[in-house]
Amino acid sequence: MSRVIVADDHKIFREGLVELLSGERSIEVAGTASDGADALSKTNALAPEILILDISMPILDGFEVTKALRQRGTDVKILMLSMHNDPVSVKKAMNMGVDGYVLKEEAFETLITAIEQVSQGNRFISKGARASLGSKHVEEAGSVLSPRELEIVKYVAEGLTNKEIAAKLGISVKTVETHRQRVMEKLGFHKAAELVRYAFENGILD
């Protein structure tokens, strides 16, 4: 079961979301917060698995809360649930290390999927949020990486193992490893997490 805190300054939205989440057997709402300072305090006190966080909030906004939590090295997963669908907000959130980003205008089922994914250690960015990044980022990525390398990055970002990627593409595990190493060298990365972030930032996922 995923223990979550819902942080949003709009009372009607917050209470409605809590009611919906409470109807899910796999989710326990540990608490709520109405501003950023409250979200930070409740997260530290209640130690939820996931913090569902709005960006626009009083006292501290969602970015400031994220920065504070990441600086403290807490294990909480941060899932942004925001009305902001501009590429600047989405990319900034991902760069700061949030685990998921979902738009408020999207279906409740999308949020449930996001909660499931981040609770499993995956990063999740919704279709609506990805669409805001535009095709320009895909084109930029394509100018650096080959089509095969882009496929590898996509599957890595989706959480597939080298063996699963090899089976999907009909190539050997060794070939997958070689492609991954080449991609890391091209991009100057040293960790898989950097590769995942790159995929989100450049709209490589479908």
Q: What is the pTM of this model?
A: 0.67
Looking at the structure, tell me whether residues 41 and 110 fall in a common domain: yes
> Do 108 and 16 belong to one domain?
yes
| 64 in Cβ contact with 93 (< 8 Å) | no
My answer on whether 24 and 103 are in the same domain is yes
Query: What would you measure as the largest C-alpha separation in the chain, in angstroms?
Result: 53
Are 96 and 194 part of one and the same domain? no
- Report residue 32: phi and psi, to 5°: -135, 160
Domain with residue 159: its CATH number is 1.10.10.10
Whether residues 34 and 51 share a domain: the answer is yes
In a domain, 206, yes or no: no
> What pLDDT, on the 0 to 100 scale, is given for residue 199?
80
Domain shared by 98 and 28, yes or no: yes
Q: How many CA atoms lie within 13 A of 115 on its CB side?
A: 25
CB 1 within 8 A of CB 26: yes
Q: From the first residue on, what is the mean pLDDT of each consecutive set of 10 residues in the chain (206 residues)?
A: 95 95 94 97 95 96 92 89 86 81 92 91 82 57 67 88 92 92 80 80 67
Residue 153, domain member (yes or no):
yes
- Assign residue 11 the CATH number of its domain: 3.40.50.2300
Output the pLDDT for position 38. Answer: 97
31: closest CA among 13, 51, 16, 11? Answer: 51
170 and 80 within one domain: no
Q: Number of structural domains, the chain?
A: 2
* Same domain assignment for residues 158 and 119: no
Confirm whether 195 is domain-assigned. yes
Q: Which domain holds residue 14?
A: 2-133
* Domain membership flag for residue 120: yes
